[in-house]
Amino acid sequence: MCEVLITNIGLINLRSIKFIQFKPCKSLNIILGHNNAGKTTILESISLASSSKSFKGVDLDSLINNQSKSFQISIKSVQNTLKSSITIEKHLSSAKKLLINDKSSSTKQSLLLLPVLSMNFGYQNIFTQSSEHRRNFLDWGVFHVEHEHHSTLKDYNRVLVSRNKALKTKNHDVISPWTNKLIELALKISKRREDYFNTLHQSFSGILTRVNKESTGLYQDIAEARLSFFKGWEGDLSDVLDINLNRDIALGHTSVGPHRAELISTTTSGAIKDMASMSSQVILNLCLSLAQSETFHVKHKYKPILLMDDLFFGIDNKNLEVVVKLLNESEQQCFLSAPNSFKDRVINMRVKPKGTIYQLDKDIIRADED
């Protein structure tokens, strides 16, 4: 079986953690602990090793333990039979160092080597976050299908900035070349996003159908949940830009294009963010992440690593059983953080998590054997 797995995690002076090293299991790794014990920090370290970014969107210097001047993250992994190590070092007021197998490397390489999907219902709820967050969600998936997508996005953003500057000159001859370049890149980006969305939506619908069949009556508010993709304009882009030119000049920026794309989510009664309950939104966020994981699997024949921070926040026991069942069935390595009370809730559940529950306290992480 093809797979990607983290085999060892080592952290030094990352947030409140001074030193931790542990070997996770191949399936569900559920990390329990009190507030500020470092549960989220462990998940955050995996995200950092993959993308060189915190899924909380904070500056890397702020992650350094306040009693130190640097942090280090060391992740050992295996992708199919290929063993690798990723190390990130960050010193105060200096650039980060990213090493793969002890050699200086790029974020693109670490993204490919360690594909990671992260979810936190508190600050990564895809239905309540910004449209930029939803575009990033789509672009993560597109990148893992079309690896040059990241470079195309960078080129588009540079051209967009240049066109916006040209708009402020109000000179059509200055604006026109940038418009032509923008159209060329915009069509590439939109085609990739649309193709990816169609596959993603098919997987999402299939997962949601399973949830509704297995949980009769629990999810009536989202039984008809639907996703649609708006590419950022309607009609022919060249015509739309031409029609909007005087408006764009007045605004000083480009009002249509892939930078205005949106992932739209609705139920029969309105937008999911407004109409679905908290528990239902947790389930839908998870279904979307699992759909993205399945779409990734179609291309690569293995699944990415899942990070679920505070997944159990605001969810009742019946819905929690469905969440655990979905994760058990996903057959991939997952890292989840949860409060200590999760253990008491598991005792009364019919569906038990397939994996290992860890207890984290004062830089000591151990498998719970109760």
Q: Could you give phi then psi for residue 226, rounded to 5 degrees?
A: -135, 145
148 and 270, same domain (yes or no): yes
Please give the pLDDT value at position 350.
86
138 and 257, same domain (yes or no): yes
Q: Are 55 and 47 in contact (CB under 8 A)?
A: yes
For residue 161, give every residue at least 6 positions away whose Cβ sits within 8 Å of its Cβ, in sequence order, or none.
Answer: none
Last-in-domain residue among 227, 254, 275: 275
With 0-12 CB in 10 A as exposed, 13-18 as middle and 19+ as buried, what is 328? middle
The mean pLDDT values, 10 residues at a time, for the chain of 370 residues are 88 96 96 92 96 89 94 95 94 94 95 92 81 95 94 98 98 98 98 97 92 69 85 98 98 98 92 85 90 94 92 76 90 93 84 93 86
Q: What is the pTM of this model?
A: 0.91
Q: With the C-alpha atoms ordered 185, 188, 189, 194, is the resulting torsion angle positive or negative?
A: positive
CA-based radius of gyration for the chain: 22
Asked, for residue 137, whether it belongs to a domain, the answer is yes
Neighbours of 368 (CB within 10 A): 11
CATH code of the domain containing 312: 3.40.50.300
Last-in-domain residue among 275, 294, 325: 275
Please give the pLDDT value at position 219.
63
Tell me which long-range contacts 154-159 makes (C-beta under 8 A, separation of at least 24).
Answer: 155/185, 156/182, 156/185, 156/186, 156/189, 156/257, 156/258, 156/259, 157/259, 159/185
For residue 227, give every residue at least 6 positions away whose Cβ sits within 8 Å of its Cβ, in sequence order, or none.
Answer: 197, 200, 201, 204, 263, 264, 265
249 and 133, same domain (yes or no): yes
Instruction: Indicate the number of domains in the chain.
Output: 2
Asked, for residue 283, whether it belongs to a domain, the answer is no
Asked, for residue 178, whether it belongs to a domain, the answer is yes
Distance CA 229, CA 198 (A): 9
Asked, for residue 84, whether it belongs to a domain, the answer is yes
Please give the pLDDT value at position 52.
94
User: Which structural domain, as residue segments, surrounds residue 369?
Assistant: 1-124+308-370
150 and 199, same domain (yes or no): yes
Assigned token pair, 49 = 């090793």
230 and 135, same domain (yes or no): yes
Q: Are 306 and 335 in contact (CB under 8 A)?
A: yes
Residue identified by tokens 């900035």 is: 161
Distance CA 223, CA 213 (A): 10
Distance CA 273, CA 261 (A): 18
Asked, for residue 364, whether it belongs to a domain, the answer is yes
* DSSP element (H, E) containing 154: helix 149-167
133 and 263, same domain (yes or no): yes
* DSSP element (H, E) containing 278: helix 278-300
